[in-house]
Chain A
Amino acid sequence: DQQVKQNSPSLSVQEGRISILNCDYTNSMFDYFLWYKKYPAEGPTFLISISSIKDKNEDGRFTVFLNKSAKHLSLHIVPSQPGDSAVYFCAALPNSGNTPLVFGKGTRLSVIA
């Protein structure tokens, strides 16, 4: 049973436009959320995170929005660049102590020049 769901396996966006990657979760105990980015043949790298006490966190071109009532978060990339083409994983962490991150299946973003 997927606790973290990324329902779009892929997304194509034109360079300069906004990319919006979505993530839904089912476990109300999750209170910390992260996005990881993965290029082919490399390990995932941390991109941005958000705590459940916030509804928005911004870092340069990347903004993560959290809607706790909907159990939904999204990653916005604007403006999108060809180098942003990668697989993006949403991950969540429960507040119950030492537990591993739970990852979604990922969304492959292609930014077209």
Chain B
Amino acid sequence: GAGVSQSPSNKVTEKGKDVELRCDPISGHTALYWYRQRLGQGLEFLIYFQGNSAPDKSGLPSDRFSAERTGESVSTLTIQRTQQEDSAVYLCASSLDGTGGAGELFFGEGSRLTVL
């Protein structure tokens, strides 16, 4: 597609439920990132996929969070047993490669998660 696509754009869920957020990166981009932005906060790194390398999971806040990526395509971020503090906009980004040479990320519009 022309840009990074995320779904759903909005998700309201009850505390304790599981949610899945989906990201379709730009075709040909080998690197994929998940960030989140909680209210009044900056962009918090969650997880990073680069090609066939093991993902960098260092930003995941707890073991309730996990993410998968199918090859160099779609990624799914799963949050189990959601808590109110998980409420945030979850942003996916992709880049042509992950070498950081250009550093430019292309972001999707985000998935706004509200946990009641």
Residues of chain A whose beta carbon lies under 8 Å from any beta carbon of chain B:
6, 32, 34, 36, 41-46, 49, 89, 91, 93-94, 97-106
Determine if B4 is an interface residue (Cβ-Cβ < 8 Å).
Answer: yes
Of B42, B44, B93, B99, which one neighbours A43 at CB under 8 angstroms? B93
Determine if B98 is an interface residue (Cβ-Cβ < 8 Å).
Answer: yes
Cβ contacts under 8 Å, A91 to chain B? 43, 103
Cβ contacts under 8 Å, B93 to chain A? 43
Cβ contacts under 8 Å, A101 to chain B? 33, 45, 103, 105
Of A45, A105, A106, which one neighbours B107 at CB under 8 angstroms? A45
Name B110's closest neighbour in chain A (CB-CB): A43
Beyond A49-B103, A89-B42, A101-B105, 6 additional contacts (C-beta under 8 Å) are: A32-B103, A42-B109, A44-B91, A98-B31, A98-B56, A99-B48
The 8 closest A-B pairs by CB, nearest first: A43-B107, A105-B42, A103-B43, A98-B98, A93-B103, A100-B48, A46-B104, A93-B100
Of B100, B102, B103, B107, which one neighbours A44 at CB under 8 angstroms? B107
The CA of A42 and the CA of B109, in the complex, are separated in Å by 5
Residues of chain B whose beta carbon lies under 8 Å from any beta carbon of chain A:
4, 31, 33, 35, 41-45, 48, 50, 53, 56, 59, 91, 93, 98-100, 102-110
Cβ contacts under 8 Å, B110 to chain A? 43
The CA of A46 and the CA of B106, in the complex, are separated in Å by 7
Name A92's closest neighbour in chain B (CB-CB): B103
Cross-chain contact A98 with B107 (CB below 8 angstroms) = no
A45 CB to closest chain B CB, in angstroms?
7
The CA of A97 and the CA of B58, in the complex, are separated in Å by 15
Cross-chain contact A43 with B109 (CB below 8 angstroms) = yes
Name A104's closest neighbour in chain B (CB-CB): B42
Name B102's closest neighbour in chain A (CB-CB): A49
Of B56, B99, B102, B108, which one neighbours A100 at CB under 8 angstroms? B56
A-B contact pairs, 17 of them (CB 8 A): A36-B107, A43-B91, A43-B93, A44-B91, A44-B107, A46-B104, A91-B103, A98-B31, A98-B48, A98-B99, A100-B33, A101-B45, A103-B35, A103-B44, A104-B42, A106-B42, A106-B43
